[in-house]
Every structure is written in structure tokens, then in C-alpha cells.
Amino acid sequence: MPTFAYTARSRSGEKVTGDLEAKDRRTALADIERQGLIPVSVKEGSAAAAGKAKAKGGKRFQLARPDRMTMREVLIFTTELSDLLASGMTLGNALNTLASRRSGKGSDTIIGSLRNEIVRGTSLSDALALHPKIFTNLYVNMIRAGEASGALHEVLMRLVEHYERLQDLKEKVVMALVYPMIVVIMGVATLIFAMVSIVPKFQALFDGMGQALPLPTRILIGSSEFMTNYGLVVLGVVAVVAVVANRWVATKRGRIWWHGMLLRMPLIKGIVASGIYANFARTLGTLLGNGVAVLQALKIVGQTVGNAVIARELDNARDRVTDGTSISGPLAAGKVFPEMMTDMLSIGEQTGDMVSALTHIARRYENELDRNVKIFTAALEPLLIVFVAFGVGFVAIAILMAVFEITSGMGV
């Protein structure tokens, strides 16, 4: 009968290692669980042999992955955990199953840490709260509500649906900007190449002719000389300004100014505002639907809404909420949210179905986001084409005017 080396955790969280004989790995896992332990790893062979092999192999260089999880990894983890719980597996065994997989990513350490906390008797919500950079307040509070209601796997699936909707909103905005950014980058790169490489060759030719050049050609040559001589200096200044501006925007005052500008910029404001309102409605509706108190829900939404101006208004609304249930009036008083949204919230409060009202609001602004993205794309594409055509056309016309001037002077 083969021997298996195992590592497990006791109910108090202590690490336990040893060997046992079993006909296969599944039987070994069952024997470990009968001892009141939670298996962490079970491998065929004795622990002593494994230690010798490790010592013989020596240390191998490995690139350390940071202990973090991307949004996609969090979604996968949440889906798999919900499926395991729905199948009847206990929370500790479900986390142990997920932690036993070795993907080589930072999520391995985090899931293992969650499992160890659960083994020690910590609740899942408290264990998740130990990783605030990965699991948001929204995530933690919904898990806490699921633990209180006894429907943890259902709450996990709602979290998956919620974050997938938010991911879709972000992807729509990003996809709307991909094509314009490609056009701008290629157009600017073409202009820089022409100014640095092509124009100087024509300049040498024109200087050899010794004739007066048209004004557009002189402007083009002067710009080319400036870019060739001081291009790196200009690039450095732009980089410094960008760094300083980025740090200023990271401050509270700068963030409020910048986010306010986004809500006022032509073409941009429709996309930004629609995305924020849809995010607000989805998040608030999800929290209220899972039993989170109104004031606590508004606080969480303010932390996850992604806009400092809207977050500040939500904080002000929380101060204006007196009965703990009515929020449409305090939100309307700030004159930041659209009247349509606050009116729909008011109807939801009157009918006693805020979750349905917020769902309708989210759908309305998601549809509006789609329309704004289409308008933005339709308006921006011709503007960028005109911009690129003007730059390239100016270079071509300036050179051709000089050629025609020289040839006419030579009587050709």
C-alpha cells in the first residue's frame, strides 16, 4: 500500500505534517479529514523522502509574484466558490480546494490566507476585510449580509453578476477610445517622422537653390529645425508637466477639479456621467437588495462610484438623510444628480420597491451610455481624420509650393 506525505491544518490553525498509508489519494484525504484536520497538500511518498529530494535539488530561482488578484481573478474565484458551496461543500473545504490549485499567481497566497483564517474560526467577511486592496467594502459587506441571511452562495453569484456588469461598462468606454487613440498615435508619429527625417532633406535641396521660399515652407522648415534641435527638451518638459499634473490630480482638490471637468467636457461628459449613474444605481441596488442599511450603502457607493464630485455629493446626502430610508430628497437637494434619477428614486420609495427602481435606473443609463459611446465615436472619427489630414497635408503643400516656386523661377 503506498505512503502519502500530507500537510494539514488543525481547527486551531496549527500546521500538521505526517505520513499515512492508503490505497489512493482520495482515501488518504478522507483519512485526514476523519482526524479532524483540513488537508492542505497530499503527495505520494514519505515526508522524509520529499525533504531529501528538495535538499538534493537545492534552491531554484523563481520570480516572486506579488500577492494580488486582478478583477478577472476575483470574478473567477467568486464564481468557483459559489459553485462549490452550492454543491454542499463546507466553506473551509471549498477554500481548501481552491487553495490546493497552484496557478503560480499571487492569488494562490491570498486564497491560502483566506482558508487559514476560516480554519481559525474567522468569518469569511472578516477574512476578506484583511485584503482591502483586493476585496472592496462592497464585496465585504455583501458577504457579511450573506452570512447573516444564510444564503452565501447566492450572494456570491450576485457579486459575480454585479462586477461583470461593471466590467462591461468599462470595456465599452475603453473600446470607444481604442480607435481614436490609434489614429492620433499614428498621425502624430507620421508628422514627427516627416519633420525629423523628410523635411531636412528637402531643406538641404532648397538651400542649394538659393531662392526665396514661400511662407508655408519657411514655417515648415523652422518647425522642423526646432523639433530636431529641441525635440528632446520639449519631450522632457512635457513629461515633467505630466508627472506634476498627475500628482496634483491625485490630491483631493485636484481630483475634484479633474472629475468635475470630465462631467463638463463636450462629448466626454455624456459617457462619464452615464457610466457613473449606471454604476451608482447597480451598486446601491445590489447593496439594498442584500439587506445593507441605507446609510452604510451610501457610504460604500461613495467609495466605489469612481468620481470625487459624485462621492462628495453622496457624503453630503448621507448627512441630510434623517429617517434613514428616504434618499431621493437629499440627493435632489445637491443639484448634481439628474432630476429623472431622483424622481425615479422617489417613486421607488413611495412604492416600497427601491431595488426595482434602481434596476430601472441602471438599465436606462446603461442604454444611454451605449448611445453616448456611438455619438462620441461618430463625432470623433471625422475630427481626428481632419486633424491628421491637416498636419500631413500642410507638410505636403508646403514642400510642393517650394518646388513650384523654384521650378517657375528656373523657367521650367
CA distance 277 to 271: 10
% of the chain residues with pLDDT over 70:
87
Q: Where are the domains of the chain?
A: 3-57, 71-135, 271-358
How far apart are alpha carbons 222 and 195 in whole angstroms? Answer: 10
Question: How many residues belong to the chain?
Answer: 412
pTM of the model: 0.61
- pLDDT band per the 50, 70, 90 thresholds, residue 58: very low
8 Å CB contact between 185 and 387: no
Predicted pLDDT at 325:
54
Lowest mean pLDDT among 13-17, 157-161, 217-221, 347-351: 13-17
Residue that the C-alpha cell 444605481 belongs to = 281
Choose between 39 and 317: higher pLDDT: 317
DSSP single-letter state for residue 121: T
Q: What class, spelled out in words, does domain 271-358 have in CATH?
A: mainly alpha
Yes or no: say if 84 and 97 are a contact pair by the CB < 8 Å rule: yes
Most confident of 133-147, 158-172, 180-194, 340-354: 340-354
The rounded distance, in Å, linking the Cα atoms of 392 and 261 is 31
pLDDT at 13: 59
Cell numbers given for 166: 461593471
Indicate the pLDDT class of residue 57, thresholds 50, 70 and 90.
Answer: very low
**Which pLDDT does position 377 carry in this prediction?**
76
Q: Give the pLDDT confidence score for residue 206 in this predicted structure.
A: 74
What pLDDT is attached to residue 46?
57
What residues form DSSP beta bridges with 15?
9
Q: pLDDT tens for residues 290-311?
A: 777 888 888 888 877 778 888 8
Distance, CA of 346 to CA of 360 (rounded, Å): 13
